[in-house]
Structure 1
Amino acid sequence: MDLHHVGREHALSLVQATKEYPFGPETEVFKIRGKMFLYISMHEGEPIITLKADPEIGASLRSSFPSITPGYHMNKIHWISIRNGERITEDLVVGLVETSYHLVVSSLPKSKRP
């Protein structure tokens, strides 16, 4: 599975999601109404995606999947990073991107939600 492709394509399919490059050309950042919900980059030569997660769910995922770690360069409680690995499926990545998007949308004032 191409982790970057799956994350990118699903993020761009979400309502009003935008892609930016605020950290340079090698890091794609996906936002909704100016708030980040996903970023795609490389870490130690490996593709990685980092996204927002509920703290309890993030902790459970980190303990269940060796390829899911605390968010790289982000708040380690509220963000997770995913690398390709055993049991990391397209469905899992799509679901986590969607969950991250909805967590950010729910934090927006109602007047700014899509």
Structure 2
Amino acid sequence: MTKGQGFGFGLGKMKELAEAFKKAQQVQEGAKQLQDELEQMEIAGESGGGLIKVVVTGNQEPKRVEISPEALKEGADVLSDLVTVAMKDAYNKSTATMRERMEDLTSGLELPGF
């Protein structure tokens, strides 16, 4: 190691590191706001051409299930399958929404040395 170089962090690297910390702090603040937004969102999944509707938050928390009178005529087995499909649809839409929002939040975050 050459004299006076310390740990290899020159002033330029320190500035980059300070900027990275600033960006990370902005992302952290944005993540808190995003978490609040996701909790308030209502995302619907459907099945049977709208016979069943399942609503979850952006965090996949179940909110409600809506079952049309026509779906009740299909019998317990079919109704169970329809609810399951609607739940999966709502879950997939919710996770896709969360993923997109997180990617938007973290885009442009470049940490030096990574």
Task: Report the structure, 1 or 2, having the larger strand content.
Answer: 1
Same fold (TM over 0.5): no
Q: TM-score, normalised by structure 2?
A: 0.30
Q: Which has the higher helix share?
A: 2
Q: TM-score, normalised by structure 1?
A: 0.30
